[in-house]
Structure 1
Amino acid sequence: MIKSRWFQYLFWTSFKIGLVLIAVIGLYAIYLDASLSRHFSNKRYQAPALVYADEVTLRNNHPMRLQGLVGILERVGYQRNSNTEQSGYYSVGKNNVMVHRRPFDFSDGPQMAQRVQINFHGDRIKSIKSWPSGRELESFRLEPELIGRISTLSKEDRLLVGLEVVPNLLIETLLKVEDRNFYHHQGVSPWSILRALAANLKAGRTVQGGSTLTQQLVKNLYLSRDQTLWRKFHEAMMSLVIDYRFDKNTILETYLNEVYFGQDGSNAIHGIGLASQFYFGKQVQELNPSEIALMVGMIKGPSYYDPRRYPERARSRRDTVLKVMFEQDLLGKDNYVAAVEQALDVKESRRLVEHPYPHYMDLVRREMKRIILPEDWQETGLKIFTHLQVDAQNAVQRSLAQQLMADGEDEKLEGAMVVADYRNGTISALAGGRLSQAIGYNRALLALRPIGSLMKPIIYAAAMQDSDIGLHTPVADEPITLSDKKGKEWKPQNYDKEFDGSLLLYDALVQSRNLPAVRVGMEVGIDQLVSYLRELGVTTPLQAYPSLTLGSASLSPVAVTRMYSALMNDGRYQPLAAVSSITTHQGEVLYRRQKSEADVVFDKNVSYLTRYGLRGVVAEGTASRLQRALAGQVVGGKTGTTNDYRDSWFVAVDGEHVVTVWLGRDDNQPVGLTGSSGALKVVADFYDYLPPLSMALDVPEPLQMQNFHPTTGQRIPEDCNNGRKLPAEEIRLPEDITCEGTIREKSWWERLFGG
């Protein structure tokens, strides 16, 4: 009787406790369902912004050498092989290159893999032919180089990929190795747990896990690595909820984008999309069976099976997975044998971004702050496509560093360099200091330094815009004394302390004479000069003093580049941009730079006359030493030197780019360099590495080349050898004018009889 009561008590007590436990578990499941489902739907993971250089577009008759293309292919990670049947490979013939381009999601949409033959003739592309059809193509694009990333707060890097681009072989192999019953269980597999428990007991150690892919995903996303019963229970409950709320393909896609694959410095590599690039330099859809086996095998322990640190261990693991693939009929015998015999063939570099450009990346980050993007962009990730030209960037960094090291023992000598495409309003390359590979003070953007004689072309352009003067107009090179608004006297001097009396505006610019610039600038008006500088994009404070005519304005190298870009772009100002477009990792366009209509600052003819004067600076003036680096190309430029040789400036202008260089010290101490002895050398080295495109200087109507007296500016006969041939609106030649610019006195015979 007592035993019966005891059993009844025990039964009902257990029953009540069971009901309470069921209620608690039910409430807990409801709580998980409410919170976990929302989080899993919207905030599964964070994805970085991947930043790409400008894409390389090859065109017929495009200037490029065969070896130049090979260098581009090597940088982007293509492998040289006589067999180019697979994407990602190229081969080199006598005068041609065969390229099998990888599939890539460009900013304007995805492009499939494509195989082409590029034929060269000398330094140009002769033709581009689709292979094997032989159909001629107008152009061909290569995917851009990855130059950096803007990481999330979690320091996790991933490239989100959809399940549709992941090879079926990879998916099937993953399931066979990690979770064979994935499509048949409800998030937790009791049989797998029991099977793993039996195997571990038999071995006396942990040799097999019983977690499903869903459980692995939950552990990676939400839980710690603690091996406790509570953590295991929590993992199981969360897995059941996720499996109930979401379809299997969503869970599998999330797993493929979340799974951990190792470290790139302080950043963790997550997801199969980025891991395939990190280890093989390939898109995930390009992976072959051997590479797929290694990827799947590494999931068990990315550090333990790191193919770069432990190649034998990684190869053994890969071969184990290949065996599973063969036994499960995922691979035929021939393919299995070929895959086992294949080397690991992973990238040597342990960095996802092999050539970082931190100063250009600083420019990109600053520009992104002005672009309206979704606040939750880290949930979709970004692909930022920029205008950076890798060849130009490498030339900038090399030339600047080489000159800074060559200019004496002054380790405090610093510099900055900017290259801009003035027609398109884009920044092609930028370096902000001696250590262009290190993050630090970006002088290209932030260093505000007096620009010296770089102001003179602006002054003369303003004068030609506001009056009917031209390059042939005589200007006075004579002493002048001025007073500022506070009554302080100022007596400017020429560089050589000499005075030429009278000379043409063209020669004043070419020889960089100070006093003519001051006189013309004062005629224009200091306030008017300030207004022009504002129209040319200058936003920093400006003092409206007479010294502005000799470049007292402090500007950054980027601001100088903006000004000269407008001069070169037919007098039209447009902002300079680094970012061309932004998409999500899946290709949805979030931003595309629209080339706004440029603001007209100077008339086209004024712009042309200024460019012609800049050409003269290089052809026969203060920048003539640049000629040695030009190989016959027509280039303009302007030197700039400030008081006590504190700043050395040079701006070069060619048929495509404005190239600006500044050299100086951060503490504003003298560096002993003029514009021509310092900054100009950097540009010369840059052009030696990357030859310029000639400026087009065909005289536009109504201008025409005419002969002028070198001091009076008087129109003189064309056959006078002492004249200056300059472009100007037509000026009628006076009758009986001499080569000295005077009217020839008529003889008594001519006065009497005429003639």
Structure 2
Amino acid sequence: MSRNSFFRHVGWLAVKLGLVAAALLFFYWIYLDTTLTQRFSQSRYQAPALVYGYALPLHPGQKLPPEQLRRRLQLLGYRAVADVRDSGQFQQTGDAFVLYRRPFDFADGPQMARKVALHFNDETLTKIISLPDGRELDSMRLEPPLIGRFSTHSREDRLLVGFELVPNLFVDTLLLVEDRNFYHHNGVAPLAIARALVANIRAGHTVQGGSTLTQQLVKNLYLTREQTLLRKAHEAMMALVIDARFSKNDILEAYLNEVYFGQDRGNAIHGLGLASVFYFGKQVQELNAADIALLVGLVKGPSYYDPRRHPERAKQRRDMILQLMFEHDLLSKPDYLAALRSDLEVKASGHLVSSSQPDYLDRVQQELAHIPLPADWQKQGLRIFTGLDPLQQAAAEQALQDTVRRLKKPDLQGAVVVADYHDGSVRALVGGTQNNAAGFNRALLALRPIGSLIKPVIYSLALQQPDRYQLATPLLDNPVILDVQGDKAWQPNNYDGEFLGQLPLYQAFVTSRNIPAVNVGLDIGPERIVEQLRALGVETPLHAYPSISLGASALSPYAVARLYAGLANPQGFRPLHTIEAITQHDGMSVYHHQPQPLQQVLSPESQYLTEYTMQGVVREGTGKRLGEAFPNAHLAGKSGTTNDLRDSWFVAIDAEQVMTVWMGYDDNRSTGLTGSSGALKVLRQMLKQQPPQPLQLRRPETIIDANFRSDSGVRVPDSCSDADPEVLRFPAIDKPVIEGMTCAGTVEEKSWWQRVFGN
């Protein structure tokens, strides 16, 4: 074959191979265009469910100690300053505050940053003044704290933010440092690749990258990090497809939500939205020039420039970027110098959630299982708003741990549940002494006999029969023996082993005598007690045995809190809940808690008399030590102790909350503690940290103060109050005294003259 024919042959072969390559490239482009466009449109990344706590409302007349407000602001990451200029700052002067509330996307919609002055008088918030206009506000609220998250399958954490929320200064700085020609290339920058190639050849190793932001996005979303020519070619093709199909702002928004910013334990922090919270505790809109420079610097190497582990290195990188910002007219000279002089003001904690709440989140997950969520919720992410009060939670955790330590019983366990009985929102939930460790959640799962905690249920049923039971009604306190079919006789006893013969219902209730409660329970009927427990939300198995009158039924602390919330609320029973609302990361509503209609379980009179007597428990009965610690709070409460001192219970009620504490051993051995010597101590310390709201009972119009004989329980005239020490005065349903009733409790016999002519 001649030389010319050989070259012609090789040339035709090259043309054919080129055509084949072009055809393959064309079909590959079509394939990428079809699949990549769909994937990029519908499932770019996964976003977690971020869980938030209680958004504290503020309004004039609210009981709120200034020190408690300060603690809440510090917990939210607000900084105390001498002159409040930016959001996330506050100034305290005596009992007055100037506060710059951050912008936040609440469950019911976004709210802008707001600067206000707060005035207090005697631990009461008296005024909220909008600044600088000086208008008085009816209310406002603090943003809720982030308390946890439910991660995605990818273990990537992010808070999706729209491009419109990102400060222009951040976008301009990012493009200045990472991709200056972003708005002018087609997804790939050949000149940048060429420059990087030359630099790398000269250095003998990789010192410079030529990837555009679009290529970086493609690599992070769809490719591995291997450094091969084939992968780089694949990356370039994909970048060209995405650039051709999507707007520059869409690509930039995707990049801002995908870029990697560091690690929090086993979860990767992706996206500007969560990085702002992770490093500064701020929303994206609040970032200042120094913050922006630091975050842009982290893009190059989050681990290498970690400001917590390598502060000097991170500051050098930040200052270099600040200089670039100044040189390219993104910052004025005064702003540049101010940012340059500022310290690295990052959060001390290297965790997104500094104090995890696994016990509370257990209940959140239980409720989530019954809420219909979008099947693909991980594409848009969720924000779950709950009722957890972080100060209440911290107080409950600390009180339980400290009490166990002081009692010198290292294996002793406990649980605490705090709930707002008006709206049913759970404010705190502690499932054990190891509060930050996931494990057996005793608040939800430990089923323990409730002992004397059953007595308010029994007496409230009795007081619904005013013709038979009043607070002064004498109850027998004598030995009782009951034959139980198929079992040995049941012989209940009082805690002190003694019998008082007879005492008024009020006194039997306040001192928690067992035998009177058994007698009343038998009179009402165990079946009726079971019905009442069901009406108060008890779902666990119950048996209508006589022993139910002494709390032989086993309930969890959460179930007890639910039961007592029904007893405490004059309006009726309402189930407890943790989740208030759920939205997607973009604010689209997914779920909003709709309170169930209140169920009137008790008559208003019975509810009032029961709670009045529970105040007596704290004032003069088994809860007296709690009353002595908080004499002006007028708390209601009830202690509970089970056989052989295995379980120690106490429930306290203030104007807003029902607080339930249980203590015991997991193996059910004796604690040596009564409700008053164990659980009450936890409550007392908890309330020292979170003072109770004074409980003022609303007396029904049908209730008056009336006189009764202590020996017979008979209603006697009001004029007897100072005449006979045996006369007791109690609230009672307003009914006329029997005509002719004497102070001795007998009806005066009328003469024939009085019967004919009257008195």
TM-score (ref. length: structure 2): 0.96
Kept after mapping to 1: 8 A contact 2:711/2:726: no
Q: Deviation at 1:326?
A: 2.0
Kept after mapping to 1: 8 A contact 2:510/2:622: yes
Q: Deviation at 1:724?
A: 2.2
1:428 matches 2:427: yes
Q: Deviation at 1:739?
A: 4.3
Q: Deviation at 1:172?
A: 1.0
Separation in 2, partners of 1:249, 1:158: 19
**Letter of the 1:86 counterpart:** D
Corresponding position of 1:726: 730
Corresponding position of 2:439: 440
How do residues 87-126 of structure 1 correspond to structure 2 at under 5 angstroms?
Answer: 87-126=87-126
Kept after mapping to 2: 8 A contact 1:571/1:606: no
- The percentage of counterpart residues that share the same residue type is 53
Kept after mapping to 2: 8 A contact 1:466/1:524: no
Separation in 1, partners of 2:24, 2:470: 91
Kept after mapping to 1: 8 A contact 2:571/2:598: no
Q: Deviation at 1:738?
A: 4.8
**Letter of the 1:400 counterpart:** L
How do residues 473-512 of structure 1 correspond to structure 2 at under 5 angstroms?
Answer: 473-486=473-486, 488-512=488-512
Q: Deviation at 1:615?
A: 1.2
Kept after mapping to 2: 8 A contact 1:493/1:514: yes
1:407 matches 2:407: yes
Corresponding position of 2:222: 222
Q: Deviation at 1:737?
A: 4.5
Separation in 2, partners of 1:497, 1:341: 75
Separation in 2, partners of 1:13, 1:519: 107
**Letter of the 2:449 counterpart:** P
Separation in 2, partners of 1:390, 1:707: 47
What SS does structure 2 have at the residue aligned with 1:115? Answer: strand
Separation in 2, partners of 1:464, 1:91: 53
**Letter of the 1:733 counterpart:** V
Corresponding position of 1:451: 450
Kept after mapping to 2: 8 A contact 1:419/1:660: yes
Kept after mapping to 2: 8 A contact 1:118/1:127: yes
Q: Deviation at 1:5?
A: 0.7
Corresponding position of 1:418: 417
What SS does structure 2 have at the residue aligned with 1:479? Answer: coil
**Letter of the 1:513 counterpart:** R
Separation in 2, partners of 1:466, 1:245: 77
User: Which moved further from structure 2: 97-106 or 474-483?
Assistant: 474-483
Q: Deviation at 1:485?
A: 4.5
Separation in 2, partners of 1:19, 1:711: 113
How do residues 351-750 of structure 1 correspond to structure 2 at under 5 angstroms?
Answer: 351-408=351-408, 410-465=409-464, 468=467, 469-486=469-486, 488-570=488-570, 572-716=572-716, 717-719=720-722, 720-734=724-738, 737-743=741-747
Seen in structure 2, the aligned counterparts of structure 1 residues 484 and 41 have a Cα distance that, compared at 3 Å, is farther
Seen in structure 2, the aligned counterparts of structure 1 residues 483 and 230 have a Cα distance that, compared at 3 Å, is farther
Separation in 1, partners of 2:113, 2:649: 46
Corresponding position of 1:334: 334
**Letter of the 2:404 counterpart:** L
Q: Deviation at 1:388?
A: 1.0
Structure 1 unaligned segments of length 5 or more: list them: none
Seen in structure 2, the aligned counterparts of structure 1 residues 281 and 698 have a Cα distance that, compared at 3 Å, is closer
Q: Deviation at 1:660?
A: 0.6
Kept after mapping to 2: 8 A contact 1:646/1:669: yes
Kept after mapping to 1: 8 A contact 2:608/2:698: no
For residues 184-205 of structure 1, give each alpha carbon's deviation from its aligned partner in whole angstroms, at most 9, with x where no partner exists: 2221111110122223334444
**Letter of the 1:510 counterpart:** V
Kept after mapping to 1: 8 A contact 2:605/2:733: no
Kept after mapping to 2: 8 A contact 1:652/1:660: yes
Separation in 1, partners of 2:562, 2:587: 32
Separation in 1, partners of 2:403, 2:344: 42
What SS does structure 2 have at the residue aligned with 1:572? Answer: coil
Corresponding position of 2:6: 6
Q: Deviation at 1:750?
A: 10
Kept after mapping to 2: 8 A contact 1:571/1:603: no
For residues 458-502 of structure 1, give each alpha carbon's deviation from its aligned partner in whole angstroms, at most 9, with x where no partner exists: 111223336743323222222222233535421111112222222
Q: Deviation at 1:528?
A: 1.8
What SS does structure 2 have at the residue aligned with 1:676? Answer: coil
**Letter of the 1:83 counterpart:** D
Q: Deviation at 1:698?
A: 4.0
What SS does structure 1 have at the residue aligned with 2:663? Answer: strand
Kept after mapping to 2: 8 A contact 1:432/1:445: yes
Seen in structure 2, the aligned counterparts of structure 1 residues 111 and 629 have a Cα distance that, compared at 3 Å, is same
**Letter of the 1:445 counterpart:** L
Separation in 2, partners of 1:585, 1:417: 32
Separation in 2, partners of 1:691, 1:225: 56
What SS does structure 2 have at the residue aligned with 1:483? Answer: coil
For residues 132-182 of structure 1, give each alpha carbon's deviation from its aligned partner in whole angstroms, at most 9, with x where no partner exists: 111111112111111111111211111110000101111011111111111
How do residues 141-156 of structure 1 correspond to structure 2 at under 5 angstroms?
Answer: 141-156=141-156
For residues 577-621 of structure 1, give each alpha carbon's deviation from its aligned partner in whole angstroms, at most 9, with x where no partner exists: 111111111111111111121122111111111111211111221
Separation in 2, partners of 1:593, 1:20: 62
What SS does structure 2 have at the residue aligned with 1:599? Answer: coil
Separation in 2, partners of 1:726, 1:458: 20
For residues 677-705 of structure 1, give each alpha carbon's deviation from its aligned partner in whole angstroms, at most 9, with x where no partner exists: 11111111122222212222243121111
Seen in structure 2, the aligned counterparts of structure 1 residues 751 and 607 have a Cα distance that, compared at 3 Å, is closer
Corresponding position of 2:290: 290
Separation in 2, partners of 1:263, 1:75: 22
Q: Deviation at 1:300?
A: 0.6
User: Which moved further from structure 2: 284-293 or 326-335?
Assistant: 326-335
Kept after mapping to 2: 8 A contact 1:722/1:739: no
Kept after mapping to 2: 8 A contact 1:128/1:138: yes
TM-score (ref. length: structure 1): 0.96
Separation in 1, partners of 2:715, 2:535: 34
For residues 435-468 of structure 1, give each alpha carbon's deviation from its aligned partner in whole angstroms, at most 9, with x where no partner exists: 1122111101100000011111111122333674
Q: Deviation at 1:273?
A: 0.8
Q: Deviation at 1:732?
A: 3.1
How do residues 21-170 of structure 1 correspond to structure 2 at under 5 angstroms?
Answer: 21-170=21-170
What SS does structure 2 have at the residue aligned with 1:458? Answer: helix
Separation in 2, partners of 1:328, 1:697: 68
Seen in structure 2, the aligned counterparts of structure 1 residues 339 and 63 have a Cα distance that, compared at 3 Å, is same
Separation in 2, partners of 1:99, 1:581: 26
What SS does structure 1 have at the residue aligned with 2:371? Answer: coil
Kept after mapping to 1: 8 A contact 2:412/2:664: yes
Kept after mapping to 2: 8 A contact 1:477/1:515: yes
What SS does structure 2 have at the residue aligned with 1:41? Answer: helix
Kept after mapping to 2: 8 A contact 1:484/1:545: no
**Letter of the 1:195 counterpart:** R
Q: Deviation at 1:745?
A: 7.8
Kept after mapping to 1: 8 A contact 2:294/2:314: yes
What SS does structure 1 have at the residue aligned with 2:397? Answer: helix
**Letter of the 2:462 counterpart:** A
Corresponding position of 2:175: 175
**How large is the Cα RMSD of the aligned pairs?**
2.0
Displacement over 6 Å in runs of 4+: 744-755
For residues 314-352 of structure 1, give each alpha carbon's deviation from its aligned partner in whole angstroms, at most 9, with x where no partner exists: 122112222222222212223222222222222221111
Kept after mapping to 1: 8 A contact 2:466/2:733: no
Kept after mapping to 1: 8 A contact 2:650/2:661: yes
